[in-house]
A and B are shown apart, each in its own frame.
Chain A
C-alpha cells in the first residue's frame, strides 16, 4: 500500500479555521504550498518572469470575483418554478409524485 501524506493548507470552509494544523505540521516537507513550489520552478526554469506570474494571479482573482458577484446578483430560486428534471433527455423523464 502506498500512503501519501499531504496537507490541506486552509480550512474546509468558512466553518473551519484549520486550527488543528499546528506550526509544527506546517514545517513538514509535505506542507509546502505546491503553487509556490510551482511558481519557483517556473521562474527558476525561466519559463516566464515574475511579472507575468503576478499578472496570472491578478487575472485569476478577478475571474473569481466576477463569478461571485454574478452569483450574488442572481435571484434566489423558488421550488415551484423549478422543473425538477435531473436528465437532459427530458422526454425520458419518469415523473414521480
Chain B
C-alpha cells in the first residue's frame, strides 16, 4: 500500500474531524459529492455530515466566517481552491486573523490550506507560491511541507496550534510523492530537517524545490561534491539555527524557493546567515527564485521561470568554484 501527498492531506483532515468535534472544513465545493477542486476532501462530507461545508465564491467571506467561528471555540480548516485566490482574502487573513491575538489576547486558531506552486499550463492565476507574502506579516505561522509524512503531521499540528496557520501544500507534489504509510509523529513546527548530508555546499529549500535540490545533490555527487540539503519545512518560524549549523559544516549556502524573488523566504535566510554567520561563509551566499514576472502558461516558459534542477546545478557548481 502507498499513500500520496494529496491522500495524506485528506487523511489528516479525516483524523482531525474524527478526533476533535470543534474541527470543520469550509471551502468552495468541498462538500457534497465533489470533494474540492483537487479532491482533498473527497468523501468527508458524507463521513462527517454537517462538518464539511460549501461556501459562496468569496474567499474574503470564507476566512471572515472562519475567524468568527474560531473566536467562539471552533477549529476551522479553510480550503482555498488555489493559493492565488487567497489574495482576495488578504484583509481577513492579514488584518483580522494576523493581528487579533496581539490586539485582544484572543487567539484565532484557523488553518488556511493553500494549494500552491506551479504545474505545466496553469498560468499566472493558478500557480503562485505565496508563502513569502504571508511570512512577511506578523501573527501567522507559514508551513511548507515537502514530504508525504510532513503533509500529514504538519496539517494535524496546524489545527492544534492556537494561531492562524497558512498551510502551503504544493500541487505538483499531490500525485508525484508517495510513502508506504502515514507516520505517527513528526518533527515539531519550526524545526528544519537535514534531508541529505554533505560537506561542500548547503542548499536550504522547502516544498517542491526540495526535490529539485535532492536531484541536484545526487547529480553533483557523481562529480565528487557532497551537497547538504536542508528542508526548512516551515518558512515561519524559520529554523535559522539548523541552517547556520549546516553552513558551519559546508561554508557555502544556496537558498532555493519557488516564490517571486522580492522579499522572499530565501532573502530572509541569506540576511540571517550573513548577519549571524558571516564568519562561517567561504563564499557569498546565493539564492534562486522564480523570475520577477507573472507565471507563464506555456510549458517552455514555465519550465525556466521557476528554479529547476539544471539551473540549480549550474548555480551550485559556480558557488563550489568560488
Contact = CB atoms under 8 A, between A and B. Distances in A.
Contact of B33 (A20, A79, A80, A82): A20
Chain B interface mostly helix, strand, loop or mixed? loop
A6 to B, nearest CB: 10
A79 B305 contact: yes
A60 B300 CA distance: 31
Contact of B300 (A77, A85, A94, A96): A77
Interface string A74-92: 0011111010111000000
B184 interface: no
Residue from B32, B34, B300 whose CB has the most chain A CB atoms within 10 Å = B300
A30 to B, nearest CB: 14
Nearest to B297: A77
B300 A20 contact: no
A20 B293 contact: no
Contacts of A35: none
Contacts of B291: 84, 96
Nearest to B315: A97
Interface size class of B (residues with CB under 8 A): 10 to 19
B292 A94 contact: yes
Given A3-B56, A94-B292, A82 B301 contact: yes
Interface of A: 1, 3, 20, 76-80, 82, 84-86, 94, 96
30 contacts: A1-B61, A3-B56, A20-B32, A20-B33, A20-B34, A76-B298, A76-B300, A77-B296, A77-B298, A77-B300, A77-B301, A78-B300, A78-B301, A79-B300, A79-B301, A79-B304, A79-B305, A80-B304, A82-B301, A84-B292, A84-B293, A85-B293, A86-B292, A86-B293, A86-B294, A94-B292, A96-B261, A96-B262, A96-B289, A96-B291
